[in-house]
Amino acid sequence: MGILRDMKEAYPIFRERDPAIRSYWDVVLYPCFHAIRSYRRAHRLWLAGHTFRARAVSQRAARRTGIEIHPAAVIGKGFFIDHGTGVVIGETAEIGDNVTLYQGVTLGGTGKEHGKRHPTLEDGVMVSAGAKVLGSITIGKNTKIGAGSVVIDPVPPNCTVVGVPGRIVRIAGAPIPRESLAQDLPDPVLDDIRTLANQNAALKNRVTELERVVSALLPDAGPSGKNGAEV
């Protein structure tokens, strides 16, 4: 039977990535298992041109499991979603082999793109709980994305990414200074702080220059009044 074959294939993957699993039959208790089975069926229907039926299958699975996978997405072997509630995978997303997602992950678009508008995750990528990977970007092999991160720029292989917006903090296990990549990743809050700091410095320089001009024109002027006279 198909479900027994799928259980046999899924068990070693689930067992490797979730120590909570204790038996072969625990596989059927995972929403991920049923979501992926439904996705495979919906994807076949989508490729055959039965797009409405494919969407119907995927929407039923989303209501039942809390995991929404568009039937047009491309997903490789060894895919695993731990817990899974709130996971959304967009239409043009591409996922390689042995990728792991956790609950609340979104592989979505930015709303400003057409055509390929969802991310590509290469082999071995792990995306932690609540992270958002947005836009037509590529996340390189074996990259890890920290919980709650928002990633909007491409990431090379073997990196660790954290924060909002996502910043690369490790490459191939070696830590790197945050500031070394600041120019590559947009940070609106940091940009505003820098703008205010520059404006404040310019204002101070202007005040200093005006004080020098006033002192030159009115050498006896002081804080007590004109020409040093008391008010």
pLDDT of residue 173: 67
| Mode of pairing for the β-strands spanning 174-175 and 167-171 | antiparallel
33-69: burial string, b at 16+ Cβ within 10 Å, e else: bbbbbbbebbbebbeeeeeeebbebbeebbeebbbbb
Residue 13: other Cβ atoms inside 10 A: 18
pLDDT of residue 142: 92
pLDDT of residue 181: 47
Q: Model-level pTM?
A: 0.69
Domain layout of the chain by residue ranges: 2-181, 188-228
Pick out the chain residues at pLDDT < 50.
Answer: 181-183, 185, 229-231
Residue 122: other Cβ atoms inside 10 A: 19
129 close to 105: Cβ distance less than 8 angstroms: yes
Residue pLDDT, tens place only, 89-121 = 999 999 999 999 999 999 998 877 788 999 999
pLDDT of residue 180: 52
Query: Which CATH class for the 2-181 domain?
Result: mainly beta
Helix (H) or strand (E) segment spanning residue 102: none
pLDDT of residue 183: 44
CA distance 198 to 15: 54
Helix (H, G, I), strand (E, B) or coil at 220: coil
